[in-house]
């Protein structure tokens, strides 16, 4: 009731509900303690009283934050108390009001709060999470557990987290009065959800962040591959995979650990790997780069 009265009924002097010979100041929200004698209706007095009323409104609007344009006298309404003759309410209630105007109704429907949420920003970082999980999955596959299931798990985790973040984002947006998109859209990747979200919630920050993170997370490695900067890493990982498959399958070792960041490109370069036997003994494996096409040889050290 208070919000509607604030938007529809202007502040001003109205018939005092407690007395028929005086008027009381309505501040736009509630009755105040300010009262004055009810003016006469003679033309001379009306003019004088109207001027006094304007002065009083100017003074009291500073106390209650009521703009002068909202007052029927100063804002261009009917002069004198003719504009103020509305049905006086009981003390403690708002004056009788007309139906809310269209701008007032629009203001009442406008969501309150910001459209930015922590969950939306977490979704925007999902490409970085996918990259990190991909690196972890590659390490597990090459060094610990050579099963493709590790890549399936690594790919599924970002999708699951995006759905959970979308659920949290929807809950927060609804509490702020926004119409949130379906969290199922997060299954189309975080970008799909954020695009649908932007059509209903103001703010493009999360989308911009996601695009920047995606370019840095995936564009940089792709550029390095295109420029041939990852050949040494690729050769080293191939050495790890080959030696591990050979020694483990033939029972020579249960675990092989070759360093990924070595000179595996220069012909004639040497480096070592560590092989763990079934008895727990660590043995050195020498690796020799024999050709610029990634050809290599290896053997146990003496």
Taking only the tens place, the pLDDT of each residue in 246-295 is 998 899 999 899 998 888 889 999 999 999 999 999 999 999 999 888 89
Copy the structure tokens of residue 6: 């604030």
Whole-angstrom distance, CA of residue 169 vs CA of residue 174: 9
Domain ranges of the chain: 2-109, 118-226, 231-300
Q: What is the mean pLDDT of the segment spanning 9-16?
A: 80
d(CA 17, CA 25): 11
Q: pLDDT at residue 99 above 60? A: no
pLDDT tens column, 220-231: 888 888 887 888
2: its two tokens: 């208070």
State the average pLDDT over residues 176-182: 87
* Position with higher pLDDT, 45 vs 195: 195
DSSP letters spanning 137-194: HHHIIIII---THHHHHHHHHHHHHHHHHHHHHHHHHHHTT--PPPGGGGGGHHHHHH
């Amino acid at each position: 009731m208070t919000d509607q009265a604030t938007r529809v009924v202007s502040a001003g002097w109205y018939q005092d509900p407690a007395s028929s010979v005086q008027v009381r100041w309505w501040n736009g929200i509630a009755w105040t303690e300010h009262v004055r004698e009810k003016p006469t209706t003679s033309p001379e007095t009306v003019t004088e009283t109207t001027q006094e009323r304007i002065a009083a409104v100017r003074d009291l609007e500073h106390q209650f934050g009521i703009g002068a344009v909202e007052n029927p006298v100063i804002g261009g309404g009917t002069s004198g108390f003719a504009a103020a003759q509305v049905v006086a309410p009981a003390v403690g209630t708002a004056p009788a009001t007309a139906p809310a105007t269209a701008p007032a109704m629009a203001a009442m429907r406008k969501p309150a709060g910001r459209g930015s949420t922590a969950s939306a920003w977490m979704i925007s970082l999902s490409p970085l999470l996918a990259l990190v999980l991909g690196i972890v999955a590659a390490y597990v596959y090459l060094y610990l557990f050579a099963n493709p299931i590790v890549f399936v798990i690594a790919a599924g985790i970002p999708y699951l987290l995006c759905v959970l973040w979308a659920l949290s984002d929807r809950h927060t947006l609804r509490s702020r009065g926004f119409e949130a998109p379906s969290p199922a859209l997060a299954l189309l990747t975080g970008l799909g959800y954020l695009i649908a979200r932007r059509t209903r919630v103001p703010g493009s920050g999360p989308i911009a962040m996601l695009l920047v993170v995606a370019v840095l997370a995936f564009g940089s490695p792709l550029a390095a591959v295109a420029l041939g900067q990852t050949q040494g890493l690729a050769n080293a990982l191939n050495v790890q995979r080959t030696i591990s498959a050979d020694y483990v399958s033939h029972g020579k070792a249960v675990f092989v650990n070759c360093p990924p960041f070595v000179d595996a490109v220069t012909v004639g370069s040497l480096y070592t790997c560590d092989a763990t036997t079934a008895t727990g003994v660590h043995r050195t494996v020498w690796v020799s780069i024999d050709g610029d096409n990634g050809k290599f040889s290896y053997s146990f050290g003496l």
